[in-house]
């Protein structure tokens, strides 16, 4: 089991204090549902943890030892699904799988997914946005990183594929710690082991939909 603990994450853009006190821990075997209204700093937080964005302050511990944020990428600690598509549009699905995964076992786990198996001959530009999103999540799920962050993984998915993806994420948490942020809050809360919301730059634990209303993420 791996444990990631994060303290005092803050980020300011000019006069806008987006994050000022975010603290949480994530273990392999857990799924955290991350909520917050548009502009609350959810994507900013994920970009900071991946190293795409520099925080004003941050303290990280991995298994009770201090960790520098610059060590996250070279040590393959956190995989990250951004909100917008990132795969090359003119490559075929089968070629992308081989590009991402050199091990046959990892390749097979993606190739033999019942949904992806039907589109391996297509270029990503020929896929729907929902198909691209599903493919991206499954592709990243086979990376060796112990933690994975997913920004809007259920966006644009058809209901059947959404249910299929939830099953995959529940299975995946046996070996990984997962953070999910998505506006489909019911789907997130269905599979999350714990939830938190960001409001006014701070993080708060969430137990139920009632809490989401209390923190004004949802209308009362």
Helix (H, G, I), strand (E, B) or coil at 39: coil
Question: Domain of 47: which CATH number?
Answer: 3.40.50.300
DSSP H or E stretch at residue 187: helix 185-191
User: Rounded to an integer, what distance in angstroms lies between the CA atom of residue 55 and that of residue 78?
Assistant: 17
In a domain, 130, yes or no: yes
In a domain, 162, yes or no: yes
**Which candidate, 140, 176, 141, 136, places its Cα nearest to that of 154?**
136
- Which residue has 């019911």 as its token pair? 186
In a domain, 220, yes or no: no
In a domain, 197, yes or no: yes
Total number of domains in the chain: 1
In a domain, 174, yes or no: yes
Q: What is the pLDDT of residue 89?
A: 92
Predicted TM-score (pTM) of this structure: 0.93
Q: Where in the sequence is the domain holding 138, given as residue range(s)?
A: 3-214
Long-range contacts of residues 109-114, Cβ cutoff 8 Å, at least 24 apart: 109/138, 109/141, 109/142, 110/138, 110/139, 110/142, 113/138, 114/164
In a domain, 80, yes or no: yes
Paired with 22 in beta bridges are 9
User: What are the pLDDT tens digits along the chain (220 aa)?
Assistant: 899 999 999 999 988 999 999 999 999 999 999 999 998 999 999 999 988 899 999 999 999 999 888 888 788 899 999 988 899 999 999 999 999 999 999 999 999 999 999 999 999 999 999 999 999 999 999 999 999 999 999 988 999 899 999 999 999 999 999 999 999 999 999 999 999 999 999 999 999 999 999 999 998 7
> Tokens at residue 60, please?
């990280």
In a domain, 124, yes or no: yes
In a domain, 219, yes or no: no
């Amino acid at each position: 089991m791996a444990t990631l603990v994060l303290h005092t994450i803050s980020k300011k853009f000019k006069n806008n204090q987006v994050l000022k006190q975010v603290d949480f821990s994530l273990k392999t075997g857990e799924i955290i549902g991350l909520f917050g209204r548009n502009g609350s700093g959810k994507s900013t937080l994920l970009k900071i943890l991946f190293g795409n964005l520099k925080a004003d302050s941050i303290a990280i511990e991995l298994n009770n030892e201090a960790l520098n944020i610059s060590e996250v990428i070279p040590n393959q600690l956190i995989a990250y699904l951004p909100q917008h598509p990132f795969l090359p549009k003119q490559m075929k699905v089968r070629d992308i799988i081989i590009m991402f995964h050199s091990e046959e076992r990892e390749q097979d786990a993606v190739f033999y997914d019942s949904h992806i198996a039907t589109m391996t001959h297509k270029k990503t530009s020929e896929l729907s946005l929902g198909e691209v999103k599903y493919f991206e999540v499954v592709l990243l799920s086979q990376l060796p990183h112990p933690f994975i962050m997913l920004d809007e993984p259920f966006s644009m998915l058809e209901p059947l594929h959404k249910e299929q993806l939830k099953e995959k994420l529940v299975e995946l948490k046996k070996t990984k710690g997962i953070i999910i942020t998505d506006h489909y809050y019911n789907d997130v809360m269905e599979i999350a082991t714990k939830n938190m919301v960001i409001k006014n730059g701070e993080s708060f634990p969430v137990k139920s939909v009632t809490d989401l209303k209390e923190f004004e993420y949802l209308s009362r």
